[in-house]
């Protein structure tokens, strides 16, 4: 988050030990690829919507929450609405800004952090995204790298382009708490490590020696520490399940903050390095809907039977 959020609001308290940079992530960072070919992501057939519908009247990629609401099971990846091209999870959706950031950080990285940080490559902006203005569409799928750098404005557009909408705060919170109505996806009390939140380190501290700066660095979501990647692929934190019967939603606490429908701007759930222990109650209202950084993603809702 911005320095004001990180420091003044206590979003993160990284320790002073430099953590390692994942060599595999660094090696793959220069690879640009279409949908399902982001390095390490699970194979997927296409970006087309599934027509299958579960017993609760929701698409298969959504969880029925009560009788009238469907919520995405996984944090969204973004594709272009018209072509299905996978949009990089490491760059904002504004094409001009993305190109600018790629160039800037190729130079900036050489001046910040330790030798290992300076050597970490900037991920390549996919050629399609470099030459086209994307119309983002949210896709919910397991085993994928969810998109960061999403503003509240683009989050709304991405959900609408998928035939869905942003969740209202109370809808999101109800889904997070599960059928048992618990404060955390896994129970009534906080347990460190059950969800990908309150990490001991912060990727900006590792790359820049300062957790409060460089929050548009395209490398931030490629960094690892001793606990593994800061940003995990959707659904891979098996203990962070918001259960509804035999089915569940994943990562509603931790991984990425998620935008919800609020005219003044609100995101919920806490990202991986946010120092919060309030589970499904976590919410930040310090930024307007036009704000974005590495830690911000989205999942969508829709009314059952639509």
Q: What's the pLDDT at 214?
A: 95
How much is the average pLDDT of 259-285? 98
Band of the pLDDT at 187, cuts 50, 70, 90? Answer: very high
Band of the pLDDT at 41, cuts 50, 70, 90? Answer: confident
With pLDDT > 70 as the criterion, what percentage of the chain qualifies?
83
- Average pLDDT score over the chain: 88
Band of the pLDDT at 81, cuts 50, 70, 90? Answer: very high
Q: What's the pLDDT at 15?
A: 36
Least confident of 9-23, 42-56, 162-176: 9-23
Q: What's the pLDDT at 40?
A: 74
Residue 49 or 266, more confident: 266
Band of the pLDDT at 6, cuts 50, 70, 90? Answer: very low
Residue ranges of the domains in the chain?
3-303
How much is the average pLDDT of 229-234? 98
How many Å apart are CA 4 and CA 10, to the nearest integer?
9
Tens of pLDDT, residue by residue over 139-174, are 999 999 999 999 999 999 999 999 999 999 999 999
Band of the pLDDT at 305, cuts 50, 70, 90? Answer: confident
Per the structure block, which two tokens stand in for 95? 């094409």
Q: Is the pLDDT of residue 231 over 70?
A: yes
Tens of pLDDT, residue by residue over 84-136, are 999 999 999 999 999 999 999 999 999 999 999 999 999 999 999 999 999 99
How much is the average pLDDT of 185-210? 97
């Amino acid at each position: 988050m911005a320095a004001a959020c990180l420091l003044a609001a206590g979003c993160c308290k990284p320790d002073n030990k430099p953590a390692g940079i994942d060599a595999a992530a660094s090696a793959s960072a220069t690879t640009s690829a279409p949908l399902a070919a982001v390095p390490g992501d699970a194979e997927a057939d296409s970006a087309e919507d599934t027509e299958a519908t579960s017993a609760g009247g929701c698409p298969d990629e959504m969880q029925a929450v009560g009788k009238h609401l469907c919520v995405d099971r996984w944090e969204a990846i973004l594709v272009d609405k018209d072509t299905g091209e996978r949009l990089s999870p490491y760059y904002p959706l504004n094409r001009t800004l993305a190109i600018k950031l790629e160039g800037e950080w190729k130079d900036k990285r050489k001046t910040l952090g330790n030798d290992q940080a300076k050597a970490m490559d900037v991920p390549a902006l996919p050629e399609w995204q470099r030459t086209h203005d994307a119309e983002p569409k949210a896709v919910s799928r397991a085993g994928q790298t969810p998109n960061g750098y999403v503003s509240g404005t683009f989050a709304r557009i991405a959900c609408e382009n998928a035939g869905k909408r942003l969740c209202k705060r109370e809808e999101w919170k109800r889904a997070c708490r599960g059928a048992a109505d618990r404060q955390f996806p896994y129970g009534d009390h906080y347990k460190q490590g059950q969800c990908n939140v309150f990490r001991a380190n912060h990727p900006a501290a590792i790359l820049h020696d300062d957790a409060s700066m460089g929050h548009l660095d395209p490398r931030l979501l490629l960094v690892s520490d001793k606990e593994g990647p800061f940003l995990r692929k959707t659904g891979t934190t098996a203990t962070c399940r918001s259960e509804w019967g035999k089915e569940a939603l994943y990562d509603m606490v931790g991984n990425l903050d998620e935008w919800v429908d609020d005219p003044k701007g609100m995101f919920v759930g806490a990202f991986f390095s946010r120092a919060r222990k309030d589970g499904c109650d976590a919410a930040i209202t310090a930024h307007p809907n036009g704000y974005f950084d590495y830690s911000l993603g989205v999942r969508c809702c829709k009314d059952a039977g639509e």
